[in-house]
Amino acid sequence: MPELPEVETYRRYFEATSLYQPISDVYVEDKKLLTTDYDTLNQQLKNHQFIGTKRVGKNLFAQLDAPYWLHLHFGMTGDLAYFKDDEDTPRFARIIFKFANGFKLGFLCPRKFERIGIVEDIEEYLSRKKINKDALEITVEELSKNLNKKNAPVKSVLLDQSTVAGIGNWIVDEVLYQAKIHPEKKANQLTENEILEIHKCMRFVIQTAINSQANYDDFPENFLIHARGWGRAGLQDIRADKCATCGAKISISKVGGRTTYFCANRQRI
Ligand SMILES: [Zn+2]
């Protein structure tokens, strides 16, 4: 699932390819993907251009040269592809922004969980959807305030987008592993130092993922993510299911219904 690091990569791709070009047409294969009706969307995009982007958690907003934004949500498998010739149209490009210069930006929607639509006020949208500050923007004070009021496992609280935006399942496991905090520790029982560690590790893990453009194989050896077995065959065998720091077997359990990896030796309640 595209998480914050992937969406940040898409944001940079969008900026590098699709700004400052008049939009000549918008093709939509399946109107179910739209949160704004097609005629309105087409009218609000046609002859306008994208002039900037903003990302909050897994949400990408593209600013138009008009008082509104295009909101893109990448669902489970969404992606972007910029191309020119019709024969290069990627599979699953179910929405295509056509530019006056002949180039096109395809929004790839393999499983149709992706969504786009017009948003007039980002702050209003985020507050209506209960999406808090982005994980790279939230201050330690804000994070502390949001964690302190919840008597629930820290893992579940961090996954809740109303605590902080953009933290998905593998990221929260990695952050708690790096911060040496047990995923079931109650959020309101965290010490000030533990919250500082969470804030620091959250930035470190996300920045590492963005720097490697979300290629998990390139992550540092001491990352827990390798135990999830997503790497290339072979690498996966070597790293197996041992903690890279202490050698203990990685524990797998469910916290708040989500599969959770952690080192019981390193992460204490
Ligand atoms: Zn360990």
Residues ≥6 apart with Cβ < 8 Å to 237: none
- Residue 268 pLDDT class (50, 70, 90 cuts): confident
- 206: CA distance to ligand 1 center in Å? 21
Q: How many CA atoms lie within 13 A of 217 on its CB side?
A: 8
- 39: CA distance to ligand 1 center in Å? 56
Query: Each residue of 215-254: pLDDT tens digit?
Result: 878 889 889 988 887 655 445 545 568 898 899 999 999 9
CATH of domain 4-128: 3.20.190.10
Q: How far is CA 221 from CA 21, 145, 201, in A?
A: 42, 33, 16
pLDDT of residue 231: 53
Average pLDDT for residues 93-99, to the nearest whole number? 97
Query: Each residue of 160-207: pLDDT tens digit?
Result: 999 999 999 999 999 999 999 999 999 999 999 999 999 999 999 999
Q: Is the pLDDT of residue 114 over 60?
A: yes
Contact 168, 162 (CB under 8 A): no
- 183: CA distance to ligand 1 center in Å? 14
pLDDT of residue 18: 98
- 169: CA distance to ligand 1 center in Å? 19
Q: Is the pLDDT of residue 33 over 60?
A: yes
Give the architecture (CATH level 2) of 140-262.
Orthogonal Bundle (1.10)
In angstroms, how far is CA 132 from the centroid of its own chain?
Answer: 14
Q: Domain limits of the chain?
A: 4-128, 140-262
